[in-house]
Amino acid sequence: MEPYYQAAAGKTGEALKDALNNIISVQKKLTYSQVWDALKQTDEDPNNPNNVILLYTGRSQAKSTNGGNVNDWNREHVWAKSHGDFGTSVGPGTDIHHLRPTDVSVNGSRGHLDFDNGGQSQGECADCYLDGDSFEPPNRVKGDIARMLMYMDVRYEGEGGELDLELADKVNTYPTPTHGKKSVLLQWHKQDPVDAFEMNRNNVIQSIQGNRNPFIDHPEWADLIWPAS
């Protein structure tokens, strides 16, 4: 076991979740304005240092085009910030493990929907699907999204005045501090394994805010914390 995860070695279930929470809660907290610069590093296009890769569309786009117009990129909260109403203040709202550069209008379509399979094509993101209660991202990022949400559940456990964010096995979870759909996310985690972009992102985040996403480093821990029922 890597030194970073030594305290989690050999544990399962709630004991593993508690150990990981203790490990990953040691972190620097960014301001929301610092998030812009952080995402220009974490999501940099490996083939073009002037660009970032947008989460849902996969588009490579100039770092300088962040903003509010429909084809600019902005800061998507993958754990929708209204699920728990944490907004953009320091804490889960500025935790770059689940913040990603996203096309402004695609981000708007996703809104605060839970994640699940099905629906109609979003259009601009042709491989995104949505209906009245859920959003399905492209296969390329299904696992990334699952691992970001698993991180959020384990990182935020209601300690020291923080929220307890929890995965739920359903949709229509807004505005509670829960996010769905757990069983689908666990499938996506297996269907889309960690790649070099995601591993690099975890390393860059550690250099910026000092903590790691355990499910990128140890995908097998998902089953040990959330066994298939």
Stretch that binds Ca ion, among 58-66, 83-91, 157-165, 179-187 (CB under 5 A): 157-165
Task: State the minimum distance, in angstroms, from the CB of residue 156 to Ca ion.
Answer: 5
Among 153, 177, 188, 222, the residue binding Ca ion under the rule CB under 5 A is 153
Q: Please state, in angstroms and rounded to a whole number, the distance separating the CA atoms of residues 3 and 212.
A: 13
Which parts of 103-122 interact with Ca ion (CB under 5 A)? 103, 105, 116
**139-155 vs 196-209: helix axis angle to the nearest 10?**
30
Q: Which of the stretches 29-37, 40-48, 139-147, 218-226 binds Ca ion when contact is defined by CB under 5 A?
A: 139-147
Dihedral (Cα; 196, 201, 203, 206), 10-degree rounding:
-160
CB 20 within 8 A of CB 221: yes
Instruction: For residue 164, list its beta bridge partners.
Output: 157
End-to-end CA distance of the chain: 28
Tell which one of 27, 60, 65, 71 touches Ca ion (CB under 5 A).
71
Number of residues that bind Ca ion (CB under 5 A): 16
d(CA 209, CA 16): 22
Q: Which residue of 51, 61, 94, 134 would you call a contact of Ca ion, by CB under 5 A? A: 134
Q: Which amino acid is at 76?
A: E
Minimum distance, C-beta of residue 28 to Ca ion, in the bound complex (Å): 20
Q: Is 44 or 144 the residue whose CB approaches Ca ion more closely?
A: 144
Q: Does 131 bind Ca ion (CB under 5 A)?
A: yes
Per residue, the 3-state secondary structure of 103-121, as one string, reads EHHHHHHHCCCEECCCCEE
Quick check: 2 binds Ca ion (CB under 5 A)?
no
Nearest distance, CB of residue 118 and Ca ion, angstroms: 5
Radius of gyration of the chain (CA): 16
Site string for Ca ion, 175-204 (x = CB under 5 A): -----------------x------------
Q: Are 174 and 162 in contact (CB under 8 A)?
A: no
Binding flag, residue 164, Ca ion (CB under 5 A): yes
Give the binding site for Ca ion (CB under 5 A). 70-71, 103, 105, 116, 131, 133-134, 143-144, 153, 157, 164-166, 192
